[in-house]
């Protein structure tokens, strides 16, 4: 075990974990930030997506030792009324909801980089996050809603 001080949602958080522990389990099991979900463990589904220095990353495949000193933003860090979250609520996007944190974080990363994304750019970015319930059409509408602002 080793101590790591992380910058999570603008706060310094110190955890004592094995150095190879993926950020996902640090967030979920040590910091009680359970908004970030486990879906596949190998970066295939995107349920665990968080932003690291503004880029969408799969926290299941990111050892804690590699994120020290970087800005980590989880769904909780958006504050609850982020324009993307408001758009997802307005479009009534979620069904089972399990993938939604990942969808929201991926959309935040996309819209920060490209405030007016093309359909192709949206498809390319959002293709990394699986939804088994099929909320893709409403996600597309929510992203368009933010892009129109």
Q: Tell me the window of 25-33, 51-59, 65-73, 110-118 that interacts with another protein (CB under 8 A).
A: 25-33
Rounded to whole angstroms, the Cα distance separating 128 from 90 reads 23
* # chain residues binding another protein, by CB under 8 A: 60
Binds another protein by CB under 8 A, chosen from 1, 3, 10, 69 = 1
**Where are the strands (E) in 1-149, listed by range?**
2-8, 11-17, 49-52, 55-58, 71-73
Identify any residues that bridge with 72 across adjacent strands, giving them in sequence order.
Answer: 8, 52
Q: How far is the CB of 9 from another protein (least distance, A)?
A: 11
Q: Tell me the window of 19-27, 51-59, 65-73, 108-116 that interacts with another protein (CB under 8 A).
A: 19-27
Q: Tell me which long-range contacts 83-87 makes (C-beta under 8 A, separation of at least 24).
A: 83/146, 83/149, 84/108, 84/111, 84/142, 84/143, 84/146, 87/142, 87/143, 87/145, 87/146
136 belongs to the binding site for another protein (CB under 8 A): yes
Binds another protein by CB under 8 A, chosen from 11, 68, 89, 118 = 89
Query: Encoding tokens for residue 103?
Result: 């969808």
Site for another protein in 52-71 (CB under 8 A): none
Rounded to whole angstroms, the Cα distance separating 16 from 2 reads 5
**The dihedral of CA 21, 45, 116, 75: what is its sign?**
negative
Binds another protein by CB under 8 A, chosen from 73, 99, 108, 146 = 99
Q: How far is the CB of 145 from another protein (least distance, A)?
A: 13
Q: What residues make contact with another protein under the rule CB under 8 A?
A: 1, 17-18, 20-22, 25, 28-30, 32-42, 44-45, 47, 74-76, 78, 80, 85, 88-89, 92-101, 104, 122-124, 126-127, 129-140
């Amino acid at each position: 075990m080793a101590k790591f001080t992380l910058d999570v949602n603008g706060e310094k958080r110190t955890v004592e974990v094995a150095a190879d522990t993926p950020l996902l389990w640090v967030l979920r099991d040590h910091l009680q930030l359970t908004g970030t979900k486990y879906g596949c463990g190998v970066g295939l589904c995107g349920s665990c997506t968080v932003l690291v220095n503004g880029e969408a990353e799969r926290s299941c495949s990111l050892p804690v030792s590699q994120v020290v000193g970087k800005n980590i933003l989880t769904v909780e860090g958006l504050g609850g009324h982020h324009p993307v979250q408001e758009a997802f609520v307005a479009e009534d996007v979620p069904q089972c909801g399990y993938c939604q944190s990942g969808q929201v974080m991926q959309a935040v990363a996309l819209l920060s980089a490209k405030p007016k994304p093309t359909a192709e750019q949206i498809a390319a970015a959002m293709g990394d996050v699986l939804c088994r319930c099929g909320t893709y059409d409403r996600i597309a509408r929510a992203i368009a809603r933010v892009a129109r602002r």
